[in-house]
Structure 1
Amino acid sequence: MGKGTLLYAQSGGVTAVINATASAVIQAARARKVKVLAARNGILGALREELLDTSRESAADIRALAHTPGGAFGSCRYKLKSLEEDGARYRRLLEVLEAHDVRWFLYNGGNDSADTALKLSRLAEAAGYPLTCVGVPKTVDNDLVATDNCPGFGSAAKYTAVSVAEAALDVAAMADTSTKVFVYEAMGRHAGWLAAAAGLAGRGPDEAPQLILFPERPYDEDDFLRRVRQVVERVGWCLVVASEGIRTPEGRFVADAGGGKDAFGHTQLGGVAPYLAARVKDALGLKVHWTLPDYLQRSARHLASKTDLEQAQAVGRKAVEYALAGMNGVMPVIVRRSQAPYRWTVQPAPLAKIANHEKKMPAGFIRRDGYGITAAARRYLEPLIRGEAPPPYGRDGLPRYVRLKNRQVPKRLPAWEA
């Protein structure tokens, strides 16, 4: 291991445990006497040369990151294109890294982040600059290939399953004279992993959620409304979980808000839950309530999965190990070693096999009628939400989350012109 600095950055939507990964990265690097800088607001901070000195943070505050949600250093949705299209930006990144003697770059994100880390590693190699780039997995969507599951997903899945179970008790109690149908919208633009996690809340066909709508299956409105009516007639009420990314048979997003695309090229969705609720009310004349948990699904650290927390920390420690060993262009991924008892380990996987790929729900995880999960899905999902890892609470009854000082190191280059 040579001298140099390690740069860590967070990307995309944060999770309840991404800071646990950051905490593990910083602690592992400190143990090896390696200085860690963090990019403010992800890759944008690197481009702007807004680098935070984590050595100015106390050991206690770095440990406290493990139970603090959000992104401690800021994240961003900012996609770099190909080396040919975005060559100037990649060269600027390399200039910033050289200016601060960064020899190891850890990018904590999803598919697009893996792609950026891979391209940066190739540019550095071509330029003759000694840089080791490692992708670090994170996403509540659970859609990264090569890894059994993604850190961040287990906690979001636990929140979803618990919320649906609790809401079901509420709806059942009021159904005789009030709400007959409750619609819960889960994150998942192209993959229905979080919607599937809701299925853990019940086991029998009459237990909530009675109907789950997956983006992997076309949304058939007539069939959906018919099934809602049947469930209400049989059970007295119906709880529906819908993935935000469900599409019509023609491929159009049901909740397309008409707002164009975001930085990652994703269609701006406008809320499938209120749409479905309106259709049920209009077509069936039933009283409907709906909810859109949105950011709550990924920020609910108070209900984090212990399994998820341990995996988020493990990939952070391994990322540092891989980087300092010179393992360029890899990502530490989770490998399921056994199902019963559930055992897992972390192994390296090449970024080239991860970048810009997407893991969807296997067909065998979706019930034949398309509205629920199978036993195979339950076996896969259950271990990921096991265990509790509550944050410490203060006398005021609120979690004791930490806010870092985030002191910026002096800039050494001219300002970046976007």
Structure 2
Amino acid sequence: MPSGTLLYAQSGGVTAVINATAAAVIQAARARKVRVLAARNGILGALREELIDTSRESAATVRALAHTPGGAFGSCRVKLKSLEADRARYERLIAVLRAHEVRWFLYNGGNDSADTALKLSQLAAEFDYPLTCVGVPKTVDNDLAVTDCCPGFGSAAKYTAVSVREAALDVAAMADTSTKVFVYEAMGRHAGWLAAAAGLAGKTADEAPQLILFPERPYDEADFLARVQRVVDRVGWCVVVASEGIRDADGRFVADAGAGKDAFGHTQLGGVAARLAGRVHDALGLKVHWTLPDYLQRSARHIASATDLEQAQAVGRKAVEFAFKGMNATMPVIVRTADAPYRWKIEAAPLARIANREKKMPAGFIRRDGYGITAAARRYLEPLIRGEAYPPYGRDGLPRYVSLRNPAVPRQLPAFTD
């Protein structure tokens, strides 16, 4: 094993199991006697030379990290531009890596993070610096290209399906004299994977959610309202699941938070459930409740999918293996080999096939009328939410999550000014 240090960083919105990936990375590297540093707050920590020495965390703490949600080292929404436009930043990264003898860089994130890892690998080659860059998959949106599914999605999908089923029982109980329509907003800017997962809550046309709104289909308000009314007339109540990224026929987001764009250049969304609820109430005169689970969807470690946890740990271990084999500019991806029984394996895919690409719902996963999922979608989704991976609970009735000490590594370079 060549000498050197491994640097791990988390990127973008965290998930219920991203720390399980982190724990697997640390454990796999420790087994090979390789020191692991972590960047504080993702790529920003690397730029600022704010690095964490994970070797000072006990083995028990690292094990507990696997059942703790959030991002243990901090994450960020920062996307570096091209090598030409952001060259000073990339050169700073090389300088930091060189100063701390980093030979392997693992970036745990989505397609934008894969792009950063890819560009860093290209610059390292230009500078003749011995660096192996590996992207590690993570996103609740399940929109990464190439991989069959993405760690983080299965647990968010399980939370969504369970929440919708439980809320539907509440609505059904109260519908005679109270709420007739309940609207649930799911994450998903351009891809409706989480909204689709809500479809697992019911199996017939009369079971919730009776209507699902996907970003892959244009939103037609008149048709939507007519369908809500028909469901209420037939069932007595209606549960609607709407993806946050639904757009009208002209391509405008139905819910635009008006807060501009984030660091990734994405329009800030939020509030589609409230907007839909208002239209249902005003147009149909029905009592409506709505919910915006938001961060709850991605942080719900208390009801994580066992499949998701296993896959999150598997990609972490494989990322270390690929890195130490010198498999530069790659990502460990999940390959499904069978639906029933569900079987999968981990293979390497080039970052060039993943960076800045987005996997949307296949047309065959959306019901012909556009408001539900098909049997094919159900076959794909069901294995991903199977199994329970409960965290340990304390006598106070709460999960026993861990907080890391995150001791800083002494800086070797002058402060970075962007």
User: How far does the alpha carbon of each residue in 1:91-140 deviate from its partner, in whole angstroms, 9 at most, with x for none?
Assistant: 00000000000000000000000000000000000100000000000000
Matched residue, 2:95: 95
What's the offset of the Cα at 1:270? Answer: 3.1
Structure 1 alignment gaps of length 5 or more: none
User: What SS does the corresponding residue of 2:178 show, helix, strand or coil?
Assistant: coil
* One-letter amino acid of the counterpart of residue 93, structure 2: L
What's the offset of the Cα at 1:89? Answer: 0.1
Matched residue, 1:204: 204
What's the offset of the Cα at 1:20? Answer: 0.1
Matched residue, 1:220: 220
- Aligned equivalents of 1:74 and 1:260: distance in 2? 24
What's the offset of the Cα at 1:269? Answer: 1.1
Instruction: Report whether the alignment pairs 1:79 with 2:79.
Output: yes
TM-score, normalization: structure 2?
1.00
Matched residue, 1:379: 379
- Aligned equivalents of 1:227 and 1:179: distance in 2? 17
Matched residue, 1:409: 409
- Aligned equivalents of 1:334 and 1:346: distance in 2? 5
In the TM superposition, 1:202-281 aligns within 5 A as: 202-281=202-281
Matched residue, 1:136: 136
User: How far does the alpha carbon of each residue in 1:240-287 deviate from its partner, in whole angstroms, 9 at most, with x for none?
Assistant: 000000000000000012221110000011310000000000000000
Matched residue, 1:282: 282
TM-score, normalization: structure 1?
1.00
In the TM superposition, 1:91-240 aligns within 5 A as: 91-240=91-240
What's the offset of the Cα at 1:66? Answer: 0.5
- Aligned equivalents of 1:197 and 1:270: distance in 2? 19
Q: CA RMSD in A?
A: 0.4
- Aligned equivalents of 1:66 and 1:269: distance in 2? 30
User: What SS does the corresponding residue of 1:257 show, helix, strand or coil?
Assistant: coil
Matched residue, 1:363: 363
- Aligned equivalents of 1:226 and 1:90: distance in 2? 54
What's the offset of the Cα at 1:188? Answer: 0.1
- Aligned equivalents of 1:256 and 1:248: distance in 2? 12
- Aligned equivalents of 1:326 and 1:190: distance in 2? 34
User: What SS does the corresponding residue of 1:135 show, helix, strand or coil?
Assistant: strand
> Matched residue pairs, number?
418
Runs of 4 or more above 6 Å deviation: none
Matched residue, 1:318: 318
Matched residue, 1:4: 4
- Aligned equivalents of 1:270 and 1:30: distance in 2? 42
Matched residue, 2:42: 42
In the TM superposition, 1:392-403 aligns within 5 A as: 392-403=392-403
User: What SS does the corresponding residue of 1:6 show, helix, strand or coil?
Assistant: strand
User: How far does the alpha carbon of each residue in 1:341-394 deviate from its partner, in whole angstroms, 9 at most, with x for none?
Assistant: 100000000000000000000000000000000000000000000000000000
Matched residue, 2:334: 334
* One-letter amino acid of the counterpart of residue 95, structure 1: A
- Aligned equivalents of 2:60 and 2:274: distance in 1? 44
- Aligned equivalents of 2:350 and 2:58: distance in 1? 34
What's the offset of the Cα at 1:199? Answer: 0.1
* One-letter amino acid of the counterpart of residue 108, structure 1: N
User: What SS does the corresponding residue of 1:336 show, helix, strand or coil?
Assistant: strand
In the TM superposition, 1:12-91 aligns within 5 A as: 12-91=12-91
User: What SS does the corresponding residue of 1:8 show, helix, strand or coil?
Assistant: strand
